[in-house]
Amino acid sequence: MSRHFITATLIAIVGVLHPGCAARILGIFPFPSFSHQIVFRGLTLALRERGHELVVVTPNPINDPTLKNYTEIDVSFMYEHWRLDWISVAKKYTYYDFIMQSTPTFSTITEGILSHPKLQKLYEPESRETFDLLLFEALRWPAVLLFAKRYEIPAIGITSLSPTNQVHYQFGNPIMPSQPPYWNSRGIGFEKLTFWQRLCNFVQTWRFLFYYRTTYMQTQQEIARKYFGNDIPDLRDLEKNVSLVFTNQQAPITFVRPSVPKIIDIGGFHISDRHEPLSKDLRMILDEATQGFVYMSLGTNTKSASLSNEMRGEFIAAFSEMPYTVIWKYEDDLLPGQPDNVHTVKWIPQQSVLAHPNIKVFIYQGGLQSTEEAISHAVPVIGLPVLGDQTSNIDKIVSLGVGKKLDISSVDRFDLVEAIQSIVRDDSYKRSMLKLRDLVRDKPYDSLENAVWWTEYVIRHKGAPHLHSTTADDPWYQRQDIDLIFIIYTAILTACTIALRVLYKLLAYSIYFLKHQHLIRKKEKVY
């Protein structure tokens, strides 16, 4: 009895000494991709465990009624707006061109958020709802920042990828399109770029930023006015004053670049120590794969079932020639021409498969979460990048000697067999992956705990304006010192022009003087 009394007393004392520690957080993560949502979910659940109350907008709700202080607003209808054949898209568009072509889709997603009845109840003028923080996906819908303005609260962005260039720009990070990482590389690779490649990438990057800062932001501004009224601030000002952005990247597997303090790396915290159990049949297949097995998955967005007949035939031909068992995440019921050593599964607990000791190679599309999972289990990879950051991810992996890269649009059976056999037979890939795993794990803090700490830091201080870089307030030409370079160049050019004119006048005068002297001497001889 006394023990319970002491415990209750201690809890009461802690409650008195730390009033108001729990915060109310609004999380808006609308992008219809489970690989994105799994990162956001890791942070929101950890914040709930810390005692905070969360209202989360997501297309992939957990739907667990036992979770207290965790309300979900289901926007799974977003998937209807994002049904794409990613392989065809990648062949047709560059990354920047695709983003510009997708403006209507992103606008529809933004409208879907702001027009949702449950969200409208939260931000309508007569609403008495209050929040302490806005946590949002920093990708393509800056209009949601009006929630932070509506409640007069700080905002933290979070990305499941490395930051896109508009995120770097809004915070004042240097934009370096001639250096990696860049998402628009289209097979350039990680080697030193030629002058022409640098020039093309420079033009495309700044063309996109100009489009995003003008046309796209104006579209978002108009959507925001429709729901929050005409008297709203410029979204570009709200963007640059976001307190922090959590980005799912880690230095050992990222092309390192200079960054302002507002960008906090949180990579890898979705990796779980507890693996979802494999089905009995799948477990038996993997256990009996004594020569090893190959695992292939193109992720949650790119579907293996969407491969053309020709592409699919090349994979089947390659797999049929190998002595290994193949586990293929394949979304249809039937795989035409399926060899005996190939087993298809519509959904696979990926981390559990990667953790199996018989795995030899992981064939994938280069997604960041899958890359982190492969490293966590020290599995060499073959990358078939499709779109977005996948090319950059695979380029980095190849540069580290832990995998190979193939072009998914032109892959043939011979290249695929050669890539698989070289990784299996050359143990340097496995050794390099083990070293990379140790390097990624060797850090002074837990990534998830670090993200929670920074979140509570922003809540405690009602923002983090002291981390704001004044570079973010400068126009683009001042950020690159173009105005200074122009003045210096103009001064040097003017000085050189004046000097050349003076030299020209002196030379002309000297020539005239010499000719004049020559004529005088000539006349003197005549007389």
pLDDT digits (tens, 9 = 90+) for 205-227: 888 899 999 999 999 999 999 99
Question: Region 436-450: what's the mean pLDDT?
Answer: 93
In the prediction, which pLDDT does 179 show? Answer: 65
Q: Which helix (H) or strand (E) holds 382?
A: strand 381-383
pLDDT tens for 311-334 read 999 999 999 999 999 999 998 888
Note the helical H segments in 280-427.
280-287, 309-320, 350-354, 368-376, 390-399, 413-425
Is pLDDT of 95 > 80? no
Q: SS3 breakdown of the chain: % helix, strand, coil, rounded to 5?
A: 50, 10, 35
Question: Region 172-187: what's the mean pLDDT?
Answer: 67
Note the helical H segments in 212-244.
217-228, 235-240
Higher pLDDT, 181 or 75: 75
State the SS3 of 48-98: HHCCCEEEEEECCCCCCCCCCCEEEEECHHHHHHCCCCHHHHHHHCCHHHH
pLDDT tens for 19-71 read 446 899 999 999 998 889 999 999 999 999 999 999 999 999 999 989 999 99
Q: Model's pTM, two decimal places?
A: 0.86
Cα(first)–Cα(last) distance of the chain, in Å?
Answer: 139
The residue type found at 357 is P
> Residue 403's closest CA among 421, 424, 381, 428?
381
In the prediction, which pLDDT does 189 show? Answer: 53
pLDDT confidence bin for 196, thresholds 50/70/90: confident
Sign of CA dihedral 414, 403, 281, 334: negative
pLDDT tens for 371-409 read 999 999 999 999 999 887 888 889 899 999 999 999 888
In the prediction, which pLDDT does 81 show? Answer: 81
